[in-house]
Structure 1
């Protein structure tokens, strides 16, 4: 694409430069690329213009807050022209869509937002699509790419240019769908502003990211932005969450649908379950939707995974897929990596690795696992450093209320002393002396496994799919799933 064509929707540019690629990271710039220099949350890209030009950038778009400078060239250029662009940081998604168009015959796009469940829902959707013979793609916490070939993404929601480029790649590769996790940060920062979502899904809202949003209302408002996209055909909200109930009453009923696994909300839900039953291999339920009902046999653990499954089925149903065909392949689903992932020892002790790292997620995970546990229910967890400290005692309360035994340990202490974080957690316990503590997370897990008895279930909460511990500025290699797998093969 020529730079003049890329910029045509905003202003006339007379240059004839051909762009190879576009990037916001000067380190990725190669000869013929366009560098976009904008102020970021942590780094100002305008400081790296000279670096980008030296590396062969064909031109640089430069953020300015002065409307009079829009479309002008910077007089003192380096080795490449610098073009000023008014409030460029707000136009990145639109620029991405202009540079990497999807075309008229494009795949369907589903955006999933909420505190918990985004990853599981997107992964379940991709699995279901694959099982019924369709190609599906994903963008989110566990990586971006076609199902079965994900590449680590770094963030839940990537930068706008990367999103647009990857969506075009998935579309050209023949994907019928992209299920995208959409974070509150990504919505506030406009990273998906020009993505033409067909269906939006809301999972739930509980305390998280208040260090960024400030209040729960601001956090909810950020999530709600996804449901205001002009491209949106339909929305799906969780009626077992009070925010979902509010949104259903506020938004147009012909566009918004509700789902539920609770008998309390079936009167307003379009898609819901009856006769939910937990057993040691998963769950069974009766799925009801406007045109029918079917028995659902899910191999996934926990009631909240039933909710995630219903959300995934519901989103595909709203896109026009046959529900009966989808339900028929549900028994073939595999657990999502690090999401209620089970590892069972020969002696009957079960380890469950889960990403639960908020008070609500801890509560929901423990409630869900109680029905699968015949012995004592253990909870091992920690809290992240340099994050919302008010969450720490709340995590403790949730764990104490719903587990029989507690082990408090480290979880990405970052620059903080992990012992101080543990002390902050202990403040939230009624009986702090009953909790076990161990700063070294791997050692803590081994201690709990040594103490556990046949029939006990141990929730290893917080790390999930992550393969590192962030401690004192270093990312140390640490794979809890691999550790659990190893320990599950050990004999006492």
Structure 2
């Protein structure tokens, strides 16, 4: 692609006939002919790496400041915003050929995205999905994503791929960090979904405070042509205030004032799943999802609301919800020992409370919870999780989660201090051994909840992602102990 049309999206003109072969914001990945965008980062300033980028063959540079440079250099006010617009142009503006549905909230984004994706598939559309678990075309994995919402270079490449593969719709999780760092700048979403907001992702490397966190969530809705929101969440008015005046708006929840109003919720179960059957005020026939608890029903109400707003048929909504199992979200591991083993991604106090509360709705003996906490994250998160575990579980095995650069011993010590003497607990740093211990303790009728890892296939420590699958550990245990 020529440099001139790329720069035109930034309001710059260029009379040089320069071919641009790629875009990069990391000097280590620059190849000859690249356009290098120098982005000020949390730990390093990209302008410091302009010489390296040019040495590696960068044909031009975009920078927030004017600097001596042997390659053509163009100054922009916000290089993150510029990168998003450049990536869109470089890949041919693929989003213009897609119906984008964006989902945001503190918890429930991945589950709701799966539900909406499965409803679209049931309606006969070819749908893509981008989020915490990676990028999918239909139900097939297409690419891994290092972030819930990828950086613009990966995001627009994925959207381009999805157009090439015949997708008409893309469901995307949009995180607060994505908004803060302008990853989706320039995109217009046909519909935005607001699930909930609670204090999280606040601290070094994330958000300065709750006000910034909420403002980043709200900013997303300025890019939405329509929206549905949780009518019971106090933050919804702040979100809705950002919508364009003409945008259609609907609400969901269990309150009488909600447009899509949930009614009764009944637990259902099978050997391979814990599920829910729930009613909606304007429908005679209940809906069914293969996920337990009121919090998952709330996600389903969001999916119903947004899919109705998009004009999808009722039969597709019902079919999609019935098929919407989500890996690592209240996922039951079948076994012949009479132990109900549940794998869930819960990694904060709100999600701990949601999953453990719903387990109480099913017949059970003791509830044994296996969990740790992510390192280099706000310490209050692990203390709050411990308090919820002490309230809703009968026994805890405290272990490794993703310690990152923090000693796992320090993390576990914080958790056990918060647990105190409220319930019996043990510390086993090796997560495999911790799971084995919990299963050894469990008797028929007991529940074992493995919380924190969910779908993840690794443990992140000291800059490495070491392969680890809870599902594989469970298969190993029950093979040895049928």
TM-score, scaled to structure 2:
0.91
Question: 1:392 offset after TM fit, Å?
Answer: 1.9
- Is 1:142–1:150's contact at 8 Å kept on the other side of the alignment? no
Residue in structure 2 matched with residue 183 of structure 1 by the alignment: 175
CA distance in 1, matches of 2:346, 2:423: 24
Would the alpha carbon gap of residues 461 and 165 (structure 1) be closer, same or farther in structure 2, given more than 3 Å must change?
same
Would the alpha carbon gap of residues 325 and 384 (structure 1) be closer, same or farther in structure 2, given more than 3 Å must change?
closer
Question: 1:29 offset after TM fit, Å?
Answer: 2.8
Which consecutive unaligned segments of at least 5 residues does structure 2 have?
none
Instruction: Indicate whether 1:216 and 2:210 are aligned.
Output: yes
Residue in structure 2 matched with residue 389 of structure 1 by the alignment: 379
Q: Cα deviation per residue 1:406-428 (whole Å; 9 max; x = unaligned)?
A: 22212112222222212211232
Question: 1:377 offset after TM fit, Å?
Answer: 1.6
Would the alpha carbon gap of residues 117 and 174 (structure 1) be closer, same or farther in structure 2, given more than 3 Å must change?
same
Would the alpha carbon gap of residues 156 and 105 (structure 1) be closer, same or farther in structure 2, given more than 3 Å must change?
closer
Of 105, 108, 111, 1:114 maps to: 105
TM-score, scaled to structure 1:
0.89
Instruction: Indicate whether 1:203 and 2:195 are aligned.
Output: yes
Residue in structure 1 matched with residue 317 of structure 2 by the alignment: 326
Question: 1:433 offset after TM fit, Å?
Answer: 6.4
Question: 1:151 offset after TM fit, Å?
Answer: 1.0
Question: 1:103 offset after TM fit, Å?
Answer: 6.5
RMSD between aligned alpha carbons?
2.4
Q: Cα deviation per residue 1:346-390 (whole Å; 9 max; x = unaligned)?
A: 011122111111011100111122223422222211111111012
CA distance in 2, matches of 1:364, 1:253: 35
CA distance in 2, matches of 1:268, 1:300: 25
Question: 1:20 offset after TM fit, Å?
Answer: 2.5
Instruction: Indicate whether 1:307 and 2:298 are aligned.
Output: yes
Of 368, 371, 377, 2:361 maps to: 371
Would the alpha carbon gap of residues 233 and 90 (structure 1) be closer, same or farther in structure 2, given more than 3 Å must change?
closer
Question: 1:304 offset after TM fit, Å?
Answer: 1.8
* Aligned counterparts, 1:23-422, within 5 A: 23-64=24-65, 69=66, 75-77=68-70, 80-102=71-93, 106-147=97-138, 148-211=140-203, 212-229=206-223, 232-244=224-236, 247=239, 255-260=248-253, 262=254, 265=255, 267-281=256-270, 282-288=275-281, 292-333=283-324, 335-422=325-412
- Is 1:102–1:171's contact at 8 Å kept on the other side of the alignment? no
Q: Cα deviation per residue 1:102-142 (whole Å; 9 max; x = unaligned)?
A: 37962111111111111111122222222332111111111
Which consecutive unaligned segments of at least 5 residues does structure 1 have?
none
- Is 1:415–1:472's contact at 8 Å kept on the other side of the alignment? yes
CA distance in 2, matches of 1:303, 1:174: 35
Question: 1:461 offset after TM fit, Å?
Answer: 0.6
CA distance in 2, matches of 1:347, 1:34: 59
Question: 1:293 offset after TM fit, Å?
Answer: 4.9
Question: 1:254 offset after TM fit, Å?
Answer: 6.4
CA distance in 2, matches of 1:143, 1:104: 18
State which drifts further: 435-444 or 479-488.
479-488
Of 477, 480, 484, 2:467 maps to: 477
CA distance in 2, matches of 1:296, 1:253: 31
CA distance in 1, matches of 2:79, 2:94: 24
- Say which SS state the counterpart of residue 64 (structure 2) adopts: strand
CA distance in 1, matches of 2:284, 2:418: 44
* Aligned counterparts, 1:429-440, within 5 A: 429=419, 431-432=421-422, 434-440=424-430
- Say which SS state the counterpart of residue 171 (structure 2) adopts: strand
Would the alpha carbon gap of residues 452 and 253 (structure 1) be closer, same or farther in structure 2, given more than 3 Å must change?
farther
